[in-house]
């Protein structure tokens, strides 16, 4: 097998290339969910029940052509592979990304522990924790790979999002 440059691909290289493609796709999906969530936060503000934000996010992501399942049951496995129950994910996007929504004053360690527990027990790798309850938009990305939790991004800063929005505004305006 050769790549687009004509180089011979070993099985290991092919595996790495596939993993890189998957990571690129999940990053693009997370970026899309992040932007849509931010837009919802800007439009609706904070103060609604979690279900309102869940419905808004599901609606907008479906309109963007994504597969979105609300309150989707996900199997929880014990370490030996035995199914020991299930929980309802607020949203499951494209069968790969768990979305846990909150409407709290701020995200707390117990919220992070919750999504990490969901990722570990469900054997899914990627999750987003999104808080619509604060005046400041909060989102955090988590991954569970090789039996280890990873918080892959800090909370998205409001200033960073504002600067991005301003730059997009001026790019479109001119």
End-to-end CA separation in angstroms for the chain? 46
Contacts of 161 (CB under 8 A, 6+ apart): 38, 137
Is 138 within 8 Å of 41 (Cβ atoms)?
A: no
CA–chain centroid gap for 10, Å, is: 32
More reliable by pLDDT, 173 or 141: 141
pTM summary value: 0.76
- With a pLDDT cut of 90, the percent of the chain lying above it is 60
How confident is the model over 9-44, as pLDDT tens digits?
566 666 677 778 888 999 999 999 999 999 999 999
pLDDT at 132 over 70: yes
Contacts of 69 (CB under 8 A, 6+ apart): 89, 91, 92
Measuring CA to CA, which residue among 88, 27, 90, 89 is closest to residue 53? 90
Cα 124 from Cα 42, distance rounded (Å) = 30
Measuring CA to CA, which residue among 136, 86, 133 is closest to residue 111? 133
The strand pair at 138-145 and 148-151 is best described as antiparallel
The helix (H) or strand (E) run that includes residue 14 is helix 11-44
Burial of 127 (0-12, 13-18, 19+ CB in 10 A): buried
Domains of the chain, CATH where assigned: 12-173 (3.90.1570)
How confident is the model over 44-86, as pLDDT tens digits?
999 999 999 999 999 999 999 999 999 999 888 898 999 999 8
Which pLDDT value is given to residue 153?
A: 52
């Amino acid at each position: 097998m050769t790549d687009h440059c004509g180089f011979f691909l070993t099985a290991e290289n092919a595996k790495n290339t596939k993993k890189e493609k998957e990571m690129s796709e999940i990053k693009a999906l997370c970026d899309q969910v992040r932007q849509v969530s931010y837009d919802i936060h800007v439009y609706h503000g904070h103060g609604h029940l979690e279900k309102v934000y869940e419905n808004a996010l599901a609606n907008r992501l479906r309109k963007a052509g994504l597969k979105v399942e609300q309150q989707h049951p996900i199997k929880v496995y014990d370490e030996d592979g035995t199914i020991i129950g299930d929980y309802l994910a607020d949203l499951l996007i494209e069968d790969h990304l768990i979305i846990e929504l909150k409407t709290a004053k701020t995200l707390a360690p117990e919220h992070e522990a919750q999504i990490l527990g969901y990722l570990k027990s469900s054997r899914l790798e990627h999750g987003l924790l999104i808080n619509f309850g604060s005046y400041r938009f909060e989102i955090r990305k988590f991954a569970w790979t090789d039996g280890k939790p990873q918080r892959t991004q800090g909370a998205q800063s409001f200033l960073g999002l504002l600067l991005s929005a301003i730059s997009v505004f001026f790019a479109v305006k001119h």
